[in-house]
Amino acid sequence: MKIGILTGGGDCPGLNAVVRGVTKAALRKGWEVIGFKDGYKGVVENRFENLDDRAVSGILIRGGTILGTSNTANPFAYTLEPFGSAGSPKDLSGLAVKNLKKAGVNALVAIGGDGTLNIAYKLHKNGFPVVGVPKTIDNDLSATDVTFGFDSALKVATEAIDNVHTTAESHHRVMIVETMGRYAGWIALRSGIAGGGDIILLPEIPYRPQDILKAVNDRRRRGKHFSIVVVSEGAKPENGEMTVNRVVAGSTDPLRLGGVSYKIAGLIEKNIEVECRVVVLGHLQRGGSPTPFDRWLATGFGVGAVDLIERKKFGRMMSLSCYKCVSVTLAQAVGKLRRVPLDCPEIRTALSVGTSFGNAKITA
């Protein structure tokens, strides 16, 4: 048996732990393992390397991915030179499958988020044996309780909120911390609760400017002359749109969000005599060493993926359910995004300690 591994989409802590888990588990069954370079780009361009114990030694604690990644290399709509172009996407899925077979790959382990796993699902439907492993700091994949990478990003965001508290209090400022998350507010929600955010703005709860101003003013009347606002990059005003920083053609999700925190700062400074400062965490949340939880989860997912291949359970994705590594179908995994539900107990928890969601309609 020879299996292939690729890491697609944005990088995050824990990817190397999965690569290590898959490789070590497979080698101990007497299998061969190859890693495709830069996600599906390596499959289309037939670029890979052999993986052995030495290749994965010491990578458990490293962030990023030793294989490289790409969030624009979709073999079903390929736009990268010299095989495709942004103006004329090509369906090179047939070439991808041909290269997999030419390399002697019996099954492919695709590690990634919704874009990577959607591609994996299409390859599976086209007849190639694929197993998926869920990865995203956004924690927005359905059919799993949590994705690896999320806990590490959450740690970075929470530490950032902790660190701005002292300067906010010293200068009587409003500090606005912008997290990643795209269309799901899990990072902002949990880091906001853990870091004691006074206002948390989520994509799932459109904010009302007057309610943000009221929350800041209410704190000032109670003698709290500083406020911490935690805002997810996908937050938007009621009857308004998300803040798009730029558009990347050829990506599975071309919209790059970011900058909503500056809008919130402008709103507050225009209406309240208080100084605001903005901290956009950006890719800080993707970097660094994975937390112990993410190492544990990623290793379990990697070993579980090999087990699925051994049992010929293709077209499935590893999943965490009640702290157990199980599997679900890729169809279940990519069916819809996992967003913060309005009846989420965590929202009630935040409301109960006085946190505002920038919308007075949301009550405990």
Positions marked catalytic = 138
Angle between helices 292-310 and 15-27 (to 10 degrees): 40
Helices (H), 314-364: 330-333, 345-352
Which residue, among 325, 252, 253, has the nearest Cα to 244 in the 3D structure?
Answer: 253
Cα 275 from chain centre:
32
CA distance 60 to 19: 9
Contact 72, 89 (CB under 8 A): no
* Paired tokens of 304: 């579980």
* Paired tokens of 100: 């997999």
Contacts of 62 (CB under 8 A, 6+ apart): 16, 289
5 bridge partner residues: 35, 109
